Every structure is written in structure tokens, then in C-alpha cells.
A and B are shown apart, each in its own frame.
Chain A
Amino acid sequence: MIEIRNLHAEIDGKKIINGLSLTVNDGEVAAIMGPNGSGKSTLSYVISGRAGYEVTGGEILLNGENILEMNAAERAAKGVFLAFQYPLEIPGVTTMTFLKACLNAQRKSRGEAELTTPDFMKRVKAGAEKLGVPQDMLRRALNVGFSGGEKKRMEVLQMSLLEPTFAILDETDSGLDIDALRIVSEGVNALRDPKRSFLVITHYQRLLDYIVPDTVHVMSKGQIVKTGAKELALELEANGYRDFVGEAA
């Protein structure tokens, strides 16, 4: 469970998160929708501990523990995962090598034994198959020359391997055609679990037809301005954000 209380955050002296509060319970899938520039990606960075963002107020508790003092790697080991809106390319490092290094780094940090190579291979292969990631992609440098859709699939594959307790998906649907959207959504749905919570950031109702949220939050100018059930997304689709954005001002 993640609890964000009255969070204020800025970057390069610019205030972007302005007293945001949000709770996502275990097993819950929460969606955040909001106009461009409302601070959705910034929120995901602040939660995951990207350097350069200054938190000037409030707190973030993951299962009761304040994570604000931890660096990004420590938060990851605690179970925070971010599926990037624009996944990065890592030249020269094969996907397989990268995945193994990350998984073992997290395990080590939690005091768990490292996975043996055969164990690891088994897991990756099974995960890749489910997401329609071809084996030869695992031997290529991570995300280098991957299409937009392949990169997003790779994000979900990483998520399935790292088994986070709290996962943020930042516009995972953008750049996906309808088939890829279905595969990726199925991948996410397969990970839904009573002990895992999700924050799904999206612009479009479309994604929420596949990943059906328990709650929908509307974000504007660095705050949550409206919270409702999944029907709220339909309302937004029909009327736009205008009504809610007004409330925040």
C-alpha cells in the first residue's frame, strides 16, 4: 500500500507537485488521468526517487515506511517499479545481462540469495513467451533499435520479473497499436495480485477498457482534483478535463 500525504515537490526551482495526496491500497489498481503538463510524470519520478527533484513537503509511505530518504535503487529493492513513458536504450548491454544484474541487485539488497543462471533463464523465457517477446530480442542490447511497442513490452517483462509491490505505468499505452495494447494489458492483468498495487497513468479511456481500474483520479496542476470509480474515466472521455481543471484553480 502506498500513501502520499500533502506532497510538494519542485525541480530546478519550479514547483510542480502542489500538496498532492493519494492512497493506493494493496490489490488496488488506481488510474491517474489529467491534461498534459499536470505533473503526472513528475509524480512518478518523485515516487521512484529520481535525483534532482526536491521534496519540499509531505511524505510518501510504502507499507508504512517513509521512502523519501532512500535513493532510487533502494526504493526499487523495496518494490517500487516504474514502467517508463520513454524507456532508455542501454547500448552494449544485452537485455538478458541487464535483467539478471537488476534482479540480483535487488535480491542482494533484500538479503536474498542470487538466482542461478538456469533459474534465471527459466523465468525470463517463461515471461518473454507470455508477452510475445521473441528470444532473440533478449540477446540484443536493451531497447537499442526496439520499436516503441517492443520497448513497452520490455517494460512489462521487467515488471513481471522484478515482481514489485507497487508499480507505476506511465503512459504505457502511448505508441501501441491495438494488438500490442491487448498483449501488454494482459501482461499487466496477469500481475494483478492482492498484495500488489498499481498506479496507471494514461490519457485515454482506451487503456482502461483493458486494464480496468478500481479508482480513477484526476490530476491538475500538481494536485488530485477529483477521485471516482472507473466510470469517471468515461465521463472524462466524453467531456474533457475542463470541469475539473477549473476546480483546481
Chain B
Amino acid sequence: MAAVQETVDRVKSVDVDAYKYGFVSDIESEKAPKGLNEDIVRFISAKKNEPAWLTEWRLEAYRLWLTMREPDWARVDYPKINYQDLYYYSAPKSTPGPKNIDEVDPELLRVYEKLGIPLREQEILAGVQERRVAVDAVFDSVSVATTFKAELAKAGVIFCPISEAVHTHPELVKKYLGSVVPTSDNYYATLNSAVFSDGSFVYIPPGVRCPMELSTYFRINEQNTGQFERTLIIADKGSYVSYLEGCTAPKRDENQLHAAVVELITLDDAEIKYSTVQNWYPGDADGKGGIYNFVTKRGDCRGARSKISWTQVETGSAITWKYPSCILRGDESRGEFYSIAISNGRQQVDSGTKMIHLGKNTTSRIISKGISAGRSNNTYRGQVLAQKRATNARNFTNCDSLLIGETCGAHTIPYIEAKNASAVFEHEATTSKISEDQLFYCMQRGLSAEEATALIVNGFVRDVLQQLPMEFAVEAQKLISISLEGSVG
């Protein structure tokens, strides 16, 4: 057992405390008073100068939320959250709507640089980087900079903070906001509807293939601040967009709450590819601090032959509660879910997907790779459902778990239901362990225990990494090594 033990110890000692993004930035911010009531909701709405319908929409959600109970079915365990002890609005002081990158607080730009995620604009201007990515950066609650606006506008693509879209494209926001995740959906989504701060809005017009990847980086900075982003992406008929989302947060001893909502809509023949690299602060080795990540992500393949594909690499957060899902409403629509979820230290992950087949000849594919180390717990929870109308629904699910060491857990909880007899659902699941024998074999060939573990883990997640856009794949691969070891190259 010695070599595995050694790896386990190494993981324990280096990993979680070495969270690379755990610095706190010194940026002045403006906050609403602590706690939540109708006035705070109105305050948030007023701050953003929102039209009356939206204020009302928020208030309705808030009143509904008061009647709801926090869900407890997930395999996660945490002390009760005091929702009155949080700030629901926090904005970096200098950012009443920066028009371009020069207007962004330089300290903020330095933050992004430290994150290793510069707003890639400079590089692109300098011609260093061929691949172009438009970036929207959301800092605490406010979107601070969206790059490439002009060029995107030429293609007819709208990519801006949702707070801005409310004013510039109210008809789109009104039509689609809450149409996939209704305000009544679940406790966290309802809370988000009441207090959502900012997030990205994307609209791709009919027949347009978005000329570049769109990307949002979320960063929580303020103490005791809940972050509630709201993302809304609409791909109109025959359009295509690839969207990337990255997240980090500083080290804090207190837990921070993150409850985002993401809604995707594809009309006929449209496709959205949504990729996430989630690296919120996971807490220290003893489970102190870290982000509570309670996120509702859902895509609605509203049009025929449309497609939504979720790819996620989840390495951070103390608690992850997240099920990016697809509603396959349009005939012949397709949903995909590719996931790598890594847990270490005392992290708890309960994540998976739902594929709801409503239309005819709809297909879905789920590839989930869970890796547990340390004293963590990793649960895959997935639902595949074919409704009566869904003739010839097809699903393929492959769900693999890899255990590192003796003190972690992996669980697979599939819910499969076909109300139409023509459905064909396939489910494969494996649980494996990096064995002492495998480690010795690799070490005998010259690899250190850490290198061997990294190699095996990378092999394990390869199918999913391949789904990520190139740059993200490299970033993700690094993250996987960091989150498992710290010392793995």
C-alpha cells in the first residue's frame, strides 16, 4: 500500500492548500446592505435601471422563494446557509459601464492576468494569437468588459452583459428569460431570479456561424458575497456558437455561495456548444472555506434538428450541485453531456445531467468521468427520460469512476424511464481504482508516483478532454494535474 499511501499523502498535503488562484484583490466595491428582502431586490433592480416588468419578475420570484425549501436530496452535507448573512449585490466601484478595455480598472485587469486568463485582446492585437476569443468578464456581480463587440456586431451577433441587453434588446430578453428555467424551477434558481446580478447575453441571428468563440470569466472576490449570474444564449435558426465559461474565486475561510442560472435555446438546425472549466476555490484540506456551487444549467432544443452540447471540467468548489440538462423538444434534436468531475480533499460533488426526450427521433449522449481522491465524495446523478411522443428516442450513457486512495467515495445514480416503447437507452458504468500494481509498473518504467497518477488520470478523461476547444483543453489538463497533486507536471 505504501506507494498509493504516499500519493494520497502527497495529494493531501499539497493540493488543496496550494490553490493557485486564491489571492484577494484590492478593489473598492459598492455593496447593498447585508441580507435579503423586497427592498434589496428593488435596490438591485434599480441599480441596473431595470424596466418595471423585470422588477416585478424579480419580486414575484422572491415571494415564491420565501415559500420554498432548500433541497436536501443531493449527496452533499453542509451547515445551514444563513441567507440573511450575505451580500446580494457588490460591484467594483469604478465600473458604471466601461465602454472599452481602457476604462476598466487596471487593478482588475491585473487580476485577470494573475488568473492566467488575460483579456486576450492585447495578444490578439499584437498578432500573437491566431485563434480569437471574445471575452466578457464578470467580477463579483458586474460585467466589466466585453471585448470584440464591434466585430461581433458586424456579424449580427449580440454578446453583452445581460444588464445591458435588458435595455438594448428588451424584446429578446423578455421573450426568452425564464423560458427554459422558469422562476419556479428550484430553490436556487428561484433565488437567482430574484437577485441575479449580471452575466452574459448572447444572440446569434439566423444562419450565422459565430465568427469566434465567446467566453466569460467569472470571478468572486468580495467576502460574504453571493454570486448569482444569469446567462442567456439564443441560437436562432441554422446558427452556431461555441461558448466557454471559466470561474475562479479567492481563498476565504468562510464559504461563499454561488447560484447561477444558465439558459440555452436553439431554434431549428441551430447548435450551441457550451464548455465550462469550473475552478472555484475548493476549501482547504480540512474542508474550511470554499465555494458552494448550486447551479442550474439547462438547454432547450426548441427547434427541429437542433443540438446542444455541454462539456464541463469541474475541479473546484467545496460543494458542487449541478446538472446541465437538455430538453429535446424539437424532432431529431440532439443533446450531449461530457463531464469530468474531480474531487479531492473534502470536496463534495453531486453532478450529472438530464436528457428529457420530448420530440421524435431525438438522440442524446452522456459521457461522465468522475475522479475522487482524498476524503472526497463524487456522485454522478443522471436522468434519461423519454416522454410518450418521443418515438425512437436514443440515449447512450457511459459513466466511469476512478478512485485514488482508500478514503474517497464514488457513486452512480441513474434514473432511466421510457414512456414510449420504441426508446433505446444504453447505460454503461465502471468503477476502477489506480492500483498499487499499476503504480509500481509505471514507476518501474521510470515515472514518479505523481507522474504515473497524472498519466492514468489523463488517459481516463481523454474522451472528454477531446470535446473541449483546444486552448481550454490545455488549460483543463493543467488544472486536473493541479487539483490532484500540485506536484504533477
Interface residues of A (CB under 8 A from B): 48-52, 71-73, 76-77, 80-82, 84, 87-94, 97-98, 101-103, 105-106, 109, 141, 158, 162
Contact = CB atoms under 8 A, between A and B. Distances in A.
A75 to B, nearest CB: 8
Interface string B420-453: 0000000000001001111011111111110100
Given A72-B440, A101-B451, A162 B445 contact: yes
Given A92-B462, A98-B455, A141-B459, A52 B448 contact: no
B250 to A, nearest CB: 34
Contacts of B459: 90-94, 97, 141
B1 A72 contact: no
A92 B460 contact: yes
Contacts of A90: 438, 441-442, 455-456, 459
B451 A105 contact: yes
Name the residue among B435, B438, B440, B446 with the largest chain A CB count within 10 angstroms: B446
Contacts of B435: 88
B446 A51 contact: no
Given A51-B6, A92-B460, A141-B459, A109 B446 contact: yes
B1 A52 contact: yes
Nearest to B2: A51
Contacts of A162: 445-446
B458 interface: yes
B76 interface: no
B451 A82 contact: no
18 contacts: A50-B440, A51-B6, A52-B1, A71-B443, A72-B443, A76-B443, A76-B444, A76-B446, A82-B444, A88-B441, A90-B438, A90-B442, A90-B459, A92-B458, A97-B459, A102-B447, A106-B445, A162-B445
Contacts of B438: 88-90
Contacts of A48: 444
What are the 4 closest A-B residue pairs judged by CB atoms, nearest first?
A: A92-B459, A51-B2, A93-B459, A106-B446
B460 A73 contact: no
B435 to A, nearest CB: 8
A101 B437 contact: no
A73 B436 CA distance: 14
Contacts of A89: 438
Nearest to B440: A50
B447 A52 contact: no
Contacts of A73: 443-444, 446-449
Contacts of A109: 446
B36 interface: no
B474 to A, nearest CB: 16
A48 B445 CA distance: 10
B440 A102 contact: no
Nearest to B430: A91
B447 A84 contact: no
